[in-house]
Amino acid sequence: MKEEPLDFFDPGNSFVTVDNFESSLADLYAEKRDMHYGYSDYAFHLITGTDIFFNARESGDDSRFGSYVSVLNPTKGLTLYYWTQNYKIISNANTIISRLAVAEISEGDKMKIEGEARLFRALAYRDLVYLYGGVPLVIEEVTSPKTDFVRASKEDVLNQIVADASYAATNLPGITAVQDGRLSNLVAQHLLAETYISLGDYNSAIAAASVVIEDPNTALMTQRFGSLATEPGDVYWDLFRVGNQNRSSGNTEALWVAQMEVDVPGGLLDGSGNGGNAYERYHVPATWTLNDPDGKNGFLGPRSDDNMGGHGVSFIRGTPFMESTLWQNDFDGDMRNSSFNFKRTVTYDNPESAYFGKSAVDFPGTVIESANWRWYPWLTKVTTPGQHPTNLYIDQELKLLSNSSASTYRDQYYLRLAETYLLRAEAYLDNGNTTNAAADINIVRARSLAIPVSPGEVTLDYILDERARELSFEEQRRITLQRTGKLVERVRKYNPWNSSEIQDYHGLFPIPAKEIEANINGKLEQNPGY
């Protein structure tokens, strides 16, 4: 009558060897990557509906964050998604930490494993605290049913992040000592810097950010490099070409990179379907659906070139602020707005069209005139023209892509040194030192050959603008805005679609209704307004 599982493991004896723990850590990496880049609409909901991106189709549906009132209802899936995903990471990290205590492996291994697990826990609480405010703190392994959670204060959560990130900063190896894609002490320091800002401890924030910046192994990339270094382009463009994100490509700017490979187990991306990391599909406009002024097809189809940008479907569009206002100051000088990085034209490519080779913006057909979402300026950092996986091509010569082309087929930055500079600038600003703040911002701007900012111009809004220029599609914009308390204000100001309906209380997600209901022995206070 004794029951022996045949095809799953017993948690009781699966945390013994270093390999066991490595497997548990691999799961944390995979879960984190899945949360932000998996094949779920929710994965891009931290980016769209903000001050810089909105639903290109201009409709109120939930799947593209069309309406704050609707999508942020406590009964909806989005709020439960980030809650569940992050708490699963926390739970698995807790299990690792508690099992580690009794595992018979070397102290060195233990510290490294615990450092990684605790940093994942800190990163999960970081998402939660900025999205939801103070949330229940769980830092022990849960081995029996628990239904009496209560919300901790925001400060308690931030302090827990500091505690975990500090441990990781001390015990994790340096960036050159870890494999590409693995957490290093610098990620912990960056997180510490951000968290200290939220705690109002700006000196500690500056100190932590400085550790990252002053690390001899990190530097912004200022010269052409990587897989397409000899092609026409610029260094900012190089940062986003296939194979150019890991340190192995010579990239010293990357601090932490989400690893992706096409058609390899554990690589997330699927060369034949909906693998995830779908920014290309969602951001690139559906140019291939346009007709020419004669009413004929103006385009051959979705193509892997920088005219078309791949198989776009026009879901996430830059707000007018993102498309133009942001660049007005230095439209031609800022590399990030160069024709390599921001596509502002499109040319008919169907040889059968009388307008072949002519600009569809100058010679619009009826489709684009009535539905301007079918084409709009777009950022090349989400796509990989000419570098799509081979089996996605229907016609190799014409670079025609099949409908399965769905992803940005490359690694994604979780953290890049440019962000650390902007973070330290924020800390300096908060500390009243606009000179140093401007200096940090200008290091980032200098790489893009942009006009320097003067200390007098530096405000939090300016930093957020700079982050938009530098880090679009990389930072989880919604978290940045909620962290800085700027979400509602900036959405109202810059997002033409959501501005009229966003409410003051939308600066935080609601606690999911399901959690309030299931937590029968405790009370989870709902966020105000919901």
Region 135-194 residues binding another protein, contact defined as CB under 8 A: 135-136, 138, 142-147, 149, 179-182
Binding residues among 305-334 for another protein as defined by CB under 8 A: 313
Contact pattern from residue 338 through residue 367 relative to another protein, giving x for each residue in contact according to CB under 8 A and a dash for the rest: ----------------------------xx
User: Locate tokens 């190896």: which residue?
Assistant: 173
The piece of 270-278, 317-325, 452-460, 471-479 that touches another protein (CB under 8 A) is 270-278
Q: Count interface residues toward another protein (CB under 8 A).
A: 111
CB of 395 to another protein, least distance (A): 12
Per CB under 8 A, the list member of 36, 64, 343, 416 interacting with another protein is 64
Residues 91-110 contacting another protein, CB under 8 A: 91-92, 94-95
Backbone φ and ψ of 203, nearest 5°: -65, -45
CB of 387 to another protein, least distance (A): 13
Least Cβ distance, residue 60 to another protein (angstroms): 6
Residue window 246-265: x/- pattern of binding to another protein, with contact defined by CB under 8 A: x-xx---------x-x-xxx
Establish if 127 lies at the interface with another protein (CB under 8 A): no
User: Among residues 204 and 526, whose Cβ is nearest to another protein?
Assistant: 526
- Cα gap 529→111, rounded to integer Å: 43
What's phi and psi for 310, nearest 5 deg? 105, -160
Instruction: Select the residue interacting with another protein from 44, 87, 473, 494 (CB under 8 A).
Output: 87
Within positions 362 to 381, which residues make up the interface with another protein, using CB under 8 A? 366-367, 369-371
Write down the residue that tokens 């009496």 correspond to. 148
The one segment of 269-277, 316-324, 420-428, 446-454 that binds another protein by CB under 8 A: 269-277
Give 11 or 496: the residue with its C-beta nearer to another protein: 11
Give the nearer residue to another protein in terms of CB position, either 165 or 183: 183
**Binding of residue 88 to another protein (CB under 8 A):** yes
Diameter of the chain measured on Cα atoms: 79
Using the rule CB under 8 A, which residue among 79, 171, 184, 291 binds another protein? 291
Q: Which of 139, 394, 449, 460 binds another protein (CB under 8 A)?
A: 394
Do 142 and 91 form a contact (C-beta atoms < 8 A)? yes
Does 395 contact another protein by CB under 8 A? no
Compute the least distance from the CB of residue 279 to another protein, in Å. Answer: 16
Nearest alpha carbon to residue 377 among 361, 362, 391, 364: 361
403 forms part of the interface with another protein (CB under 8 A):
yes
To another protein, the closest distance from the beta carbon of 376 in angstroms equals: 14
Asked if 433 touches another protein (CB under 8 A), the answer is no
Residue where the block lists tokens 């708490």:
87
Query: CB under 8 A: which stretch of 76-84, 153-161, 165-173, 482-490 binds another protein?
Result: 76-84
**Binding of another protein at residue 288 (CB under 8 A)?**
yes
In 3D space, the residue among 467, 481, 489 whose CA is nearest the CA of residue 423 turns out to be 467
- Determine the Cα–Cα distance for residues 310 and 288; give it in Å rounded to an integer: 9
Tokens 């022995």 appear where?
Answer: 521
* DSSP bridge pairs for 319: none
> By C-alpha distance, which of 388, 307, 378, 404 is closest to 349?
307
Is 110:103 a contact under the CB 8 Å cutoff?
Answer: yes
Residue with tokens 């500091």: 162
Instruction: Say which residue the tokens 């991306």 belong to.
Output: 269
Rule CB under 8 A: is residue 472 a binding residue for another protein? no
| 60 binds another protein per the rule CB under 8 A | yes
In the chain, the N- to C-terminal Cα span, in Å, equals 51
Nearer to another protein, 230 or 370 (CB): 370
Do residues 300 and 398 touch, judged by C-beta distance below 8 A? yes
Query: For another protein, which residue of 155, 504, 517, 525 counts as binding (CB under 8 A)?
Result: 517
Cβ-based neighbour number of residue 516 at 10 Å: 16
* HSE (side-chain half, CA atoms, 13 Å) at 161: 31
Q: Which is nearer to another protein, 93 or 209 (CB)?
A: 93
Q: Please tell me whether residue 10 binds another protein under the rule CB under 8 A.
A: yes
Q: Out of 46, 165, 406, 418, which residue is the one contacting another protein (CB under 8 A)?
A: 406
**Between residues 59 and 222, which has the closer beta carbon with respect to another protein?**
59
Instruction: Determine the 3-state secondary structure of 115 from DSSP.
Output: helix
Instruction: Specify the pairing of strand 316-318 against strand 268-269.
Output: unpaired
Closest approach of Cβ 137 to another protein, in Å? 10
Q: What residue type is assigned to position 10 of the chain?
A: D
Q: Residues 303, 304, 309, 313: what is their CA dihedral angle, to the nearest 10 degrees?
A: 50
Per-residue burial over 518-527, b if 16 or more Cβ lie within 10 Å, else e, is ebeeeebeeb
Q: Which of 222, 339, 359, 391 binds another protein (CB under 8 A)?
A: 391
Pairwise CA distance, residues 134 & 527, whole Å: 10
Q: What angle do CA 195, 260, 39 make, to 5 degrees?
A: 80
